[in-house]
């Protein structure tokens, strides 16, 4: 009987645009203050992509870093999974554009649209393909240019979001990698966080543009409450499925949306959990599908994640969608 195949993360990378938009800058754009933003979200600044810098460009940059760390050549990549809700265009997929730019000639690829939970959705799909033996490696990317769909006249949303990309390389391994994955959606709550127009339900028209329906719309209070409960449940179930307890988790890498949400989830998980949480939302804001892979890459670079560590990733986003994943680091 052959030994089971595991999908292990062997390389991570991230990319952030050069332009920094601070809370002080936002004070000049909308009716808000640095104190209001910091105390309610924990965000101090975020990165904004250049006009000629797109989701595929940022995803490519993060991928190059991850591939270099994994010591994997682009031409050896077998699959590219891209999580994004801000693709360069409806089609072809962002994965196709990244595949061409990277020179990953042997790879197939596609996009996954699940907002802030997208990276964990893509990681699960790629991990299943590796574990099945169908492929030996996969490049999993979260990349977003949220500035392109942010209403910069709305203080309720424009203070929250930023641009960036993160990537992870999965490879087949005889040692544990992805230990568990818990994913979920509830389309009954779709209206809480969405971009209403642009699809076939509300095609682009003079009226949809006038009503600013091509930008993100969010019911903040309702989303906050659901986010805490859903992320908590996803984290607890993912830990249980991995055969672990909360005490066994060495590092928690949550979706970097709001400090209050993260603190509420960590507090309910148990005493001392917040000390094991990796945070960078103060510098990036909410980068949706790019949030977890950027944080994961920075945690690795900072030496916060080491071989043998049990890492919990948990996210919540539009859909509504959520996910919890436990990975044992090689």
pLDDT 10s digits, 166-224: 999 999 999 989 999 999 999 998 888 889 999 999 999 999 999 999 998 888 677 88
112, 321 Cβ separation under 8 angstroms: no
Mean pLDDT across 69-76: 98
Catalytic (active site) residue 255: yes
Across-strand partners of 164?
144
Residue 171 contacts by C-beta under 8 Å, 6 or more apart in sequence? 7, 8, 10, 70, 72, 130, 136, 137
Helices 55-70 and 94-102 cross at an angle (nearest 10°) of 50
- Its pTM stands at 0.96
98, 84 Cβ separation under 8 angstroms: no
Query: Class assignment of domain 6-175?
Result: alpha beta
Q: In which band, very low, low, confident or very high, does the pLDDT at 291 lie, cut at 50, 70 and 90?
A: very high
| Per-residue pLDDT at 1 | 54
State the virtual CA torsion across 61, 20, 158, 235 in degrees, nearest 10: 60
Across-strand partners of 218?
193
238, 182 Cβ separation under 8 angstroms: yes
How many residues would you count in the chain?
330
Mean pLDDT across 155-174: 96
In the chain, what are the domain boundaries? 6-175, 180-328
328, 310 Cβ separation under 8 angstroms: yes
DSSP 217-252: EE-HHHHHHHHHHHHHHHHHHHHHHTT--GGG--EE
Of the listed 85, 96, 116, 158, which one is catalytic? 116
| Per-residue pLDDT at 192 | 86
Catalytic (active site) residue 52: no
| Model confidence at 157: pLDDT above 60 | yes
Across-strand partners of 112?
83
Residue 89 neighbours by CB distance under 10 Å: 11
Q: In which band, very low, low, confident or very high, does the pLDDT at 58 lie, cut at 50, 70 and 90?
A: very high
**Cα–chain center distance at 247:** 25
| Per-residue pLDDT at 191 | 84
Catalytic (active site) residue 214: no
Of the listed 137, 158, 255, 280, which one is catalytic? 255
Q: Report phi then psi at 268, rounded to 5.
A: -75, -25
Q: In which band, very low, low, confident or very high, does the pLDDT at 87 lie, cut at 50, 70 and 90?
A: very high
**Which superfamily is assigned to 180-328 in CATH?**
Thiolase/Chalcone synthase (3.40.47.10)
d(CA 35, CA 307): 39
Mean pLDDT across 258-267: 97
């Amino acid at each position: 009987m052959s030994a089971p195949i595991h999908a292990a993360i062997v390389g991570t990378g991230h990319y952030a645009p050069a332009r920094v938009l601070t809370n002080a800058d936002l004070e000049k754009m909308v009716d808000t203050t640095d104190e209001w933003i910091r105390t309610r979200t924990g965000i101090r600044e975020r990165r904004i992509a250049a006009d000629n810098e797109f989701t595929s460009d940022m995803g490519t940059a993060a991928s190059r870093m991850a591939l270099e760390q994994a010591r994997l050549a682009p031409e050896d990549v077998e699959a590219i999974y891209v999580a994004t809700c801000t693709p360069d265009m409806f089609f072809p997929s962002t994965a196709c554009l990244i595949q061409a730019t990277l020179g990953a000639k042997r790879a197939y690829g596609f996009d996954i649209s699940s907002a802030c939970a997208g990276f964990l959705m893509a990681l699960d799909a790629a991990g299943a393909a590796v574990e099945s033996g169908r492929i030996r490696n996969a490049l999993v990317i979260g990349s977003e240019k949220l500035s392109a769909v942010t209403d910069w006249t709305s203080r309720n949303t424009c203070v929250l979001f930023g641009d960036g990309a993160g990537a992870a390389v999965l490879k087949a391994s005889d040692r544990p990698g992805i230990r568990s994955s818990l994913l979920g959606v509830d389309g009954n709550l779709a209206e809480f966080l969405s971009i209403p127009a642009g699809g076939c339900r509300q095609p682009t028209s003079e009226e949809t543009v006038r009503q600013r329906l091509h930008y993100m719309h969010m019911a903040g209070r309702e989303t906050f409450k659901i986010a805490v409960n859903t992320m908590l449940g996803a984290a607890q179930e993912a830990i249980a499925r991995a055969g672990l307890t909360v005490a066994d988790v060495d590092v928690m890498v949550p979706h970097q949306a709001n400090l209050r949400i993260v603190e509420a989830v960590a507090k309910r998980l148990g005493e001392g959990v917040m000390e094991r949480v990796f945070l960078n939302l103060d510098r990036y804001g909410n980068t949706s599908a790019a949030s977890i892979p950027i944080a994961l890459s920075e945690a690795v670079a900072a030496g916060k994640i080491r071989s043998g560590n049990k890492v919990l990733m948990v996210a919540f986003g539009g859909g509504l969608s959520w996910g919890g994943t436990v990975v044992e680091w090689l």
